[in-house]
Amino acid sequence: MIIAIICTFLLVVFLIGILASRTVKSTDDYYLGNKEFGPWTTAFKFASTWESGAKLVGSPGQAYSSGLTAFLQGLTSPLAYLMSFKVFGPRLKTACDHFNTITTPEMLARRYKSGAVHTIGATALLLGMMGTLMGQYKSIGEVVGVVLGIDYIPALFISVLIVGVYTIAGGYRASVWTDCLQGACMVGGSIFVFIYTTKQVENFSIPWLNTTLMENWPDMLHITGGRTMTMLTLLTFLVIPLFMGIALPQQSVAIFSMKDHRVGNTALIICTLFSTILIWGLYLSAMTAKTFLQVGNPDMLMPTLAMNYLPKAVAGIFIAAILAAIMSTVDGVLLVASATLTRDIFQRLMPEKYNDRPVMWNRIATIVVTLIPLLLAIRPPTFVFWIISFAMSLTVFTFVMPMIGVVYWKRATKEAAIIQMTVTSFMMILWVIIGQPGISGMALGMIISPVIFVIATLLTSPKADPDVDELWKKYGRLKHE
């Protein structure tokens, strides 16, 4: 029963990708779906991409092992959606249309009139996307391996083949259509796992759970999980989601592809409801499971719960939800990485060749960015939560301040963007290599990114730019719409 449900789910998303491939006529179609999406499709694309394998596999594993730290991180998601759609969204959509851009590095290049910003942004973005994909691939390989009863390596290749094919063929429109299906699976699966997990204990209630954890694992009710996470690292996890709409390109693309900025008003409500169901369903389930289930690898908690404690049909739905969470993020990240490789690198180096057959080159680029992290995922580090978290933070803290300069700080300068992006990405990677002395690489990025950008901007002089002046006039008109 479980395998039948999973195979049906995988077949459906595969067919959606093939159908979507017939609608792809141009690069705008392939990477932005011709900017045709309304509130429901925008919300499910945005939320499904954010609430990824980290949310359905890594974060419940973190809640199971450390408790409250993961729960607090999850509770920032509704605020993150507010920031994305109301604070940054209208201006980000306006800037995308004004500069007529597809990728974040391309937008930064046009805002700062700098090829160096373009190159640095593209390089940093590809590094961050490769790390994110490696973590997501590890999640999906482990889950499929458990479900099908096969080793990790063949499960990894089967999984990546399926998500790779529908993304390569159908582009952004395929990822939106599949994300709507996948988002529905995620919500339904989270509700089911909560119901059946809490049935494993008598008289479940939150006071009972708190009392039981306090008696047996008191560190789980401490804000730092008994110092498994420092306050500074926890603060980093709380800050990152607030800027995901402008600093994570796989999230920004959902805003770029909206029909207009007003779509975000309804999408905000849908995303918040979506996230609330997942947080309370999954994290409470994970902490409850601590009272009756012991697993060696926290990343395997949710698959283990589904396979052993849920009815077979329900388990199939939940495993499909886990796969959906991972696949919805993978397809979004693949397309962002592919767009960066083609638009920000290949088109700049060989414009005539790219412009001759752009959709073909777009698909070739998607194949390339699918395969590279696949090879890295054959022997990845152990804990999905930390792989994805570092890759995400590298992207956020490299891009957040220059993007603030796109949407809010007109005085921000090209020199500040170049210095900050270079130093932040280099220092974060170096910090991890040398063992993260004193503080984590993520916390380091959070500290140095705004400091460097602000100081560099104040020490340099902005150049007159009529294009930027016109953009700020459009921002002013947003207040009256």
How do the domains of the chain map onto residue ranges? 2-383
Task: Of 338, 403, 328, give the one whose Cα is nearest residue 364.
Answer: 338
Confirm if 255 and 167 have CB atoms less than 8 A apart.
no
Q: What is the pLDDT of residue 412?
A: 92
Task: Of 395, 436, 401, 434, give the one whose Cα is nearest residue 416.
Answer: 401
Two tokens at 318?
């939940």
Interior angle at CA 267, CA 329 and CA 57, nearest 5 = 30
- Give the span between the Cα atoms of 396 and 399, in whole angstroms: 5
DSSP state, 460?
A: S
* One pLDDT digit (tens) per residue for the chain, 481 residues: 777 887 787 778 778 777 777 777 777 777 777 788 899 999 988 888 887 666 777 778 888 888 877 777 677 778 889 999 998 989 999 998 999 888 888 889 899 998 888 888 888 888 777 777 877 787 778 777 777 778 888 888 888 888 777 777 777 788 888 888 878 888 888 898 899 899 888 888 888 888 888 888 888 887 766 666 677 777 777 777 888 888 888 888 888 888 888 888 899 999 999 888 888 888 889 889 888 888 877 777 888 888 888 888 888 877 777 777 777 777 777 877 888 788 778 777 787 887 787 778 888 888 888 888 888 778 766 555 566 667 777 888 888 899 999 999 999 999 999 999 999 988 888 887 777 777 777 788 888 999 999 999 999 988 888 998 999 999 988 876 6
DSSP 146-198: HHHT--HHHHHHHHHHHHHHHHHHHHHHHHHHHHHHHHHHHHHHHHHHHHHHH
Q: What is the pLDDT of residue 382?
A: 55
Q: What is the pLDDT of residue 267?
A: 92
Q: Is the CATH number 1.20.1730.10 carried by domain 2-383?
A: yes
- Give the span between the Cα atoms of 70 and 180, in whole angstroms: 26
Burial classification of residue 127, based on how many CB atoms lie within 10 Å of its CB (0-12 exposed, 13-18 middle, 19 or more buried)? middle
Give the C-alpha distances (Å, rounded to integers) separating 434 from 320, 389, 438, 444. Answer: 39, 18, 11, 13
Give the C-alpha distances (Å, rounded to integers) separating 27 from 97, 101, 334. Answer: 15, 11, 15
pTM summary value: 0.81
Q: What is the pLDDT of residue 408?
A: 92
- Give the span between the Cα atoms of 159 and 7, in whole angstroms: 11
Residue 339 identity (one-letter amino acid): A
Q: What is the pLDDT of residue 245?
A: 84
